[in-house]
Amino acid sequence: MAAITHIIKRTGAVVPFNPERITNAIYRAAVAVGGRDRETAESLTRQVVSILEEVTPAGRHPTVEETQDIVEKVLIENGHARVAKAYILYREERARGRREKAARGYRTTGNIPWRKIYEVLRWSADHRLYTIDDLNERIGRGEFAQIVEESDRAYEEDIDTAAQVIEDRRQQVRIAIIAGPSSSGKTTTTIKLGERLAGVGLSLVTFHVDNYFFDLELHPRDEFGDYDFETPQALDLALINEHLRRLVTGEEVRIPFYDFKTGKRQEGVTPMRIGPDDIILIDSLHGLYPPMSEDIPDEQKFQLYIEPLLQMKGPDGRMVRWTDLRLMRRMVRDELYRAYDPRRTLEHWHYVRSSEMRNIIPYANSTDYIINGAVPYELPVMRRRLLDHFREWVDDYEGDPLRTDAFERSQRVARLLAAVAPIEERDEEAIPPSSHLREFIGGSKYSY
């Protein structure tokens, strides 16, 4: 019986074997059903590795599928049936995703807000911004400032409409939820929506769900061992739901405080109560995730979804991917405000994407209103900041079996940005401080 040193991925690539990934996968499945015992996950991992070493012939490496089969067996044999079910469902979900990715041709999905997409598509055609060539032509004619003005106006009109819907329901709505995937523009949108509502006499009280994170040591981790703040299970959803229910009925609650420096949550720190005319305002990745507000009647909630729904054909004739826009925004923002290396953002993005596809995007069509957070002028803005980085990453990740996702994203975005006409730094003076893109590139009038 020899120690396992390498494992064969589904692509056939042979990579170093890391038992920590098994532990993380087991722990994540446990968290999904309410468990948070990492020591047990580590103990189960040792059993998995022991069995792998017993059944793998000398001179041969186990496959990912064989390893996952043993994980399921160990979970069930140790009495962790609910965890095993969560693990199996996750495997099936990933398998389905791979099949869909491999499929060619046009596919429809319930995650796409088609009515809103058609509205954005018409706007793009009317403003000659439907293709990269259209955008480049207008930039070449010196119309960058006009593109900024037209794009921001469309976004502001979306916010006006959302505010009007809430005002029309002011007698019923007690909670306004602004949700959407990472870097979609939720924070600025929440501020702007709050300004609109305050202007019509509605009193808003912000509810910060970040204070409800579990202690860092209880967080699930991604496959590279990084703590995962993207999953809704990182939040104490039951406590959030309880506090919202009590607030809506007029009770006082004591809000916890989460210290990101120490990774610890302190209970019952800040008293909070809302008046009969107050609306609770929530800005959260997972605001639409049902357990967060399951005890609040639907008529008392206004749910808004925002995502950059750009309708523009790229250099390959396909639509620019919304996830690529958000990836670039997050890179620029995190480097500017959090001293976070853009390369790390790229390497982690596949996990962000996986989480949002499970826990955020499926709820887009269940909302009261959808805002398009894309502005076509962000492409030349990002070109100035990121094109050289993406070209470098294409070279760095090519042939690395552990970074296939990072390579594919780098290659795709590098081609996209290279096809966009460049602008000068002074051109960006046309972007007003009120623009929600300033949330990411700096220079905003708002404090975040």
CA distances for 230 relative to 183, 240, 247, 268, angstroms: 12, 17, 26, 24
Average pLDDT over residues 433-443: 97
pLDDT tier at 435 (50, 70, 90 boundaries)?
Answer: very high
25: in domain = yes
Residue with tokens 């590795």: 49
415: in domain = yes
- Residue 102 CB: number of other CB atoms within 10 A? 7
Of 56, 80, 102, the one marking the end of a domain is 102
Question: What's the pLDDT score for residue 105?
Answer: 37
Do 356 and 432 lie in a common domain? yes
The H-or-E segment that residue 165 falls in is: helix 144-168
Do 257 and 121 lie in a common domain? yes
In total, how many domains does the chain have? 2
DSSP 391: H
Residue 52 has pLDDT above 60, yes or no: yes
The H-or-E segment that residue 20 falls in is: helix 19-32
Do 168 and 64 lie in a common domain? no
176: in domain = yes
108: in domain = no
Which residues have C-beta within 8 Å of that of residue 307, sequence separation ≥ 6?
180, 181, 184, 322, 326, 361, 364, 370, 372, 373
- 3-state SS class at 49: helix
DSSP 196: H
- Residue 334 CB: number of other CB atoms within 10 A? 17
Residue with tokens 């000659």: 128
Question: What's the pLDDT score for residue 107?
Answer: 39
Work out the percent of the chain whose per-residue pLDDT is above 90: 63
Of 81, 102, 123, the one marking the end of a domain is 102
* Average pLDDT value for the chain: 90
Q: Do 11 and 66 form a contact (C-beta atoms < 8 A)?
A: no
Query: Poorest-confidence range of 206-210, 319-323, 353-357?
Result: 353-357
Average pLDDT over residues 5-12: 81
Do 43 and 187 lie in a common domain? no
Residue 390 has pLDDT above 90, yes or no: yes
Do 51 and 128 lie in a common domain? no
448: in domain = no
CA neighbor of 412 nearest in space, from 322, 341, 324, 309: 324
Q: Do 219 and 227 form a contact (C-beta atoms < 8 A)?
A: yes
Do 164 and 98 lie in a common domain? no
Predicted confidence (pLDDT) per residue in 344-369, tens digit: 999 989 888 888 888 898 888 889 99
Do 246 and 305 lie in a common domain? yes
Do 395 and 415 lie in a common domain? yes
CATH number of the domain bearing residue 321: 3.40.50.300
Residue 13 has pLDDT above 90, yes or no: no
Do 170 and 232 lie in a common domain? yes
* Cα gap 399→162, rounded to integer Å: 47
315: in domain = yes
Question: What's the pLDDT score for residue 59?
Answer: 82
Average pLDDT over residues 227-247: 89
* Cα gap 96→203, rounded to integer Å: 45
Do 62 and 124 lie in a common domain? no
Which residues have C-beta within 8 Å of that of residue 420, sequence separation ≥ 6?
132, 135, 136, 379, 380, 383
Domain carrying residue 179: 114-441
18: in domain = yes
Of 55, 73, 102, the one marking the end of a domain is 102
Do 82 and 145 lie in a common domain? no
229: in domain = yes
Predicted confidence (pLDDT) per residue in 91-121, tens digit: 777 666 655 544 433 334 456 788 899 999 9
Do 77 and 176 lie in a common domain? no
